[in-house]
């Protein structure tokens, strides 16, 4: 009965194939970006299989990097879980947006499987399709993109174990370049965003030097600063409903 509400067998195959097709360029980008993430995993002491599994279960660059740096700093399990949750909190909003586009009657299992691998790029191609969201489109895109992310991380970890230390350090900088590419364009368009980015850098540096706060673990400082600064920005500079996302 549910298959009829989603579409016929031929339609599902066509939608699944469309998802795989649209997931190819995303997967190629993931393969390149996650290589640098694999360097961070190697520096945290993870094996290629462990980094592969981490990327397969947590397909998120910021969340994984926060997790890997917390592991490298010997953070407690609770700290690692919290910092990863905060770094990935935006996916909760994306899930809410996608839930509003689901056809009534779609099972909880389809909703859970779709929510498992929401990324910025996969969300973008899914939400841009007209009409109700078809879970099989998401499955096709994930089947293409997610393995590229996981294998890229594993390859980066393997390369980190084989390459000279100086070259490993150089590759490690590439991930910071990716984050700069994320924050600079919106910072150039919006002075509030630019000011908040500078404030974040300054607060992070100050927290590492202050007498009491500097004694806290890096994971705890990251969690507190993220919550405080994000909450303050939301209260002082709320987005108007008519603004484009």
For the chain, which residues make up each domain, given as ranges? Answer: 2-180, 190-245
Q: Which of 151, 148, 172 is nearest to 39 (CA)?
A: 172
Q: Which of 172, 166, 206, 179 is nearest to 72 (CA)?
A: 172
Query: pLDDT digit string (tens) for 161-211?
Result: 887 766 666 666 666 666 666 677 777 888 888 888 898 889 888 888 888
Query: pLDDT digit string (tens) for 125-137?
Result: 888 888 888 999 9
Cross-strand bridge partners of residue 133: 102
Is-contact 171 159, C-beta < 8 A? yes
**pTM > 0.85:** no
């Amino acid at each position: 009965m549910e298959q009829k509400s989603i579409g016929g067998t031929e339609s599902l195959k066509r939608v699944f194939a469309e998802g795989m097709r649209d997931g190819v360029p995303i997967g190629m980008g993931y393969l390149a970006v996650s290589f640098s993430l694999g360097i961070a995993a190697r520096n945290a002491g993870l094996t290629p299989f462990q980094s592969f599994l981490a990327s397969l279960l947590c397909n998120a660059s910021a969340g994984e990097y926060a997790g890997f740096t917390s592991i490298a700093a010997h953070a407690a399990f609770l700290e690692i879980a919290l910092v990863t949750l905060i770094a990935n909190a935006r996916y909760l909003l994306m899930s809410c947006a996608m839930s509003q586009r689901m056809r009534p009657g779609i099972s909880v299992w389809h909703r859970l499987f779709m929510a498992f691998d929401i990324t910025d790029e996969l969300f973008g191609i899914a939400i841009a399709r007209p009409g109700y969201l078809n879970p099989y489109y998401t499955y096709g895109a994930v089947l293409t993109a997610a393995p590229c992310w996981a294998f890229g991380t594993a390859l980066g970890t393997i390369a980190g174990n084989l390459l000279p230390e100086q070259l490993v350090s150089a590759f490690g900088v590439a991930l910071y370049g990716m984050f700069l590419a994320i924050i600079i364009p919106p910072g150039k368009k919006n002075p509030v965003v630019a000011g908040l980015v500078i404030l974040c850098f300054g607060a992070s540096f100050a927290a590492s030097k202050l007498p009491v706060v500097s004694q806290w673990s890096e994971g705890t400082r990251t969690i507190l600063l993220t919550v405080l600064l994000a909450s303050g920005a939301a209260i002082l500079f709320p987005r108007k409903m008519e603004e484009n996302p």
